[in-house]
Chain A
Amino acid sequence: MYDVYKIREQFPMLTNAIKMQNKPLVFLDNCSTTFKPQCVIDAMNEYYTKYNSNSHRGDYDLSYKVDVMIEEARKEIATLVNANENEVVFTDGATGALNLVAYGYALKFLKKGDEIIISVAEHASNVLPWFRIAELTGAIIKYVDIVNGKLLPESLRKVITDKTKIVSLAQVGNVLGYIADVKEFAKIAHEYGAIMVVDGAQSVPHLTVDFKDLDIDFLAFSAHKMCGPTGIGALVGKYQLLCDMDPFTTGGGMNSVFKKDGTVDYRLPPYKFEAGTLNIAGILGFGRAVKFIKEIGIENIHTHDQELIDYAIEKLKDYDNIIIYNKDARNGILTFNIKGVFPQDESTLLNYKGIAIRSGEHCAKLLDNYLETKATCRMSTYLYTTKEEIDVFVDAIINGGDILDAYFN
C-alpha cells in the first residue's frame, strides 16, 4: 500500500510547514527539483561530521572508509538503472553528463559532415552541447519530428543516414512528459552505426530505466530530481565507449602516471572521468536517495504520478478555458495554459496562493513552434505529492480570480 502521508513524514520541507506568501506551500515544480528526505540530508551530514576525508587517498582508515562508501553509492546507482558499476561516472548533473559525452566522445570522433540528431523538444542541456560540437567539428544538427507531442521511432527513420553518428533524445520530455521508446530509437541508431545518447533527467526519477535492456550507449541523469542533492549526477556509458572516449576534465585522481615528456596514463573508467576532489557529500547523498527510491519502488512512484495527473485532468477536463497540451502523457507532468492569461501571470497568481509551478519555455526553446505558444505553465508531481495538493492547485486555477490579485490583496 502506497502511503503518501507516511512518505511525507520523512521530508523536512513538508513537515516543517513551510509557507509561501503566508500560505501553506504546495510544491508542484518537481520537474525542476525535488525535496530531500531526512535520510539523504543525514547521509551528507554524516560525511562532514563523521568521515570527513578525501577519497583515493587510502593511506589511513578514514579515507579508506570514504572510498568504500563512494563505491557503495556507485553500486546503488548502477543497480537502479541495471548497468555495471564501472559504467557509472559521477558528474555534476545531467548537464555535466551530456557535456561529457559531447566533449569526450563527439569531439573526438565526429568530423565535418557527420550528423547529430536531436529533437525540438530537448532541454537546452541536450541541444547546446551539440551546437558547440557542430561548431567545432563541422558536424550537422538534424531534428526528429514531433508527432502529437510524441517522439516516434519511425520519425527517426526519416532523418537518419549513414552519416549520422549520434542520436540524442530525452526519454521523457521536460515540457510534455511523453515517454519515448528509446529502445527502438537505439535499435535504429545502431542499424546506421550511430550511438544512442539518452537524457534521463526526467525519466530515471519516475520510471524503470534498464540501461542494458534498452541497449542505449549513454544515459545522463541528475540526483536532485530524485530526492538527492544538487550538484551531482551520473553519466552511465557502455564500458567500451567509456574506454574509447577522452576525459573532459583532467587532474588529480584520474591518472596513474604522468611524466615530464608529456606521457600520461589515465586510470580506467569510470575514474578516468573523475578528476579532482569529488563532490563526496553529494555522491553519498545521491546513493542514499537512490536507496530511498528503491525502498518505495520506482514502479509505485510511476503509478502514483499517473494517478495524480489522471486526477487533475479529470477535475479540469470540463473547463473550456484551460488548455492542456499533454492529456495522455500521464507521467507526472501537466502542461497547460489558461486562455487569455500569460503563463507568467498565472504562475504569479499561483505563487500568491502558495503554489509553486513553473511557467515559461522550460529551457526547451525550440518547442514553441510546435506548441503554437511561446510559453506554458507546467505542474509536476513526485512521490510525496497528494491529491489534496492537486485539489488546491485545481481550485486555484479554476477560481483563479484576477491575475492582479497577487499584487493587491
Chain B
Amino acid sequence: MPTLTNDMMRSIIMDHYSDPQNKHQPPRDGYEKVHMHSDNCIDDLDIFLLVEGNIITDACFDGTACTISTSSTDIMCDLLRGKEIDEGRKIIDAFHHMMHEEEFDADLLDEAIVFINTSKQAARIRCATIGWNAAEEILKDK
C-alpha cells in the first residue's frame, strides 16, 4: 500500500468521522449484534455483522461515538466486508497488535493504518478498538 503522510491520515480519519458510510441500522434481518459501552468515553455502540457461511457478507454499526471510535469502526466495517471469517480475524489481530506497538502486517490493515499513533494517546486505545472488540466477539465462536 502507498505510504500515507500525516495529512492524508488525518483526512481519512475525518472523512470516516464526518460521513461514516457504515453507520446505520442493518438493512435487513439476520445480522448478529454486539453492544459496546465504554467506561471512560461516551462511546455507546451496536456493531452488526452479517455472517453467511464462511463469509462476513456485511458489517455496519450505530450509536453514539467519538471521532476516533466512529472513524475506526467505520473503516473496520469496510475492511471486514466480504472477507472470510479467518481473514477477518487476522485483520482484527493485526489491528490490536498495531494498537499495542507490536509487530503487525500493515498490508492487512489498509486504511486502518491511520490509527497507528493511537498508542501515543493511550487513554484512547479503548475508543479506537471498541468496534473491533465487538466484531471479534461476534466471530469468536464461528
Contacts and interface: CB of A to CB of B under 8 A. Distances in A.
A406 interface: yes
B64 to A, nearest CB: 6
29 contacts: A21-B120, A342-B66, A342-B67, A343-B42, A344-B41, A344-B42, A344-B66, A344-B127, A345-B66, A345-B68, A348-B68, A348-B121, A348-B123, A352-B121, A360-B40, A360-B41, A360-B42, A361-B42, A374-B42, A374-B64, A375-B42, A404-B10, A404-B13, A404-B67, A406-B121, A407-B10, A407-B118, A407-B121, A408-B9
Interface of B is mostly: helix
B25 interface: no
B81 interface: no
B42 A407 contact: no
Contacts of A154: none
Given A345-B66, A351-B123, A360-B42, 5 more contacts: A343-B42, A344-B127, A348-B68, A404-B67, A407-B120
Contacts, number: 45
Contacts of A402: 10
Interface residues on A, range: 10 to 19
A147 B117 CA distance: 43
Interface in A106-153: none
Contacts of A403: 67
Contacts of B108: none
Interface string A347-364: 010011000000011000
Contacts of B13: 404, 407
Nearest to B124: A348
Interface in A363-381: 374-375
B114 to A, nearest CB: 9
Top 9 closest pairs, chain A to chain B, by CB: A407-B117, A408-B6, A342-B66, A375-B42, A344-B66, A344-B41, A404-B10, A345-B67, A406-B121
The listed residue with most B CB atoms (<10 A of its CB), out of A21, A343, A360, A407, is A407
Interface string B52-73: 0000000000001011100000
Interface string A367-407: 00000001100000000000000000000000000111011
Interface string B19-48: 000000000000000000000111000000
B117 A408 contact: yes
A342 B42 contact: yes
B102 to A, nearest CB: 19
A342 B71 CA distance: 13
A342 B42 CA distance: 9
A9 B117 CA distance: 36
Interface in A312-351: 342-345, 348, 351
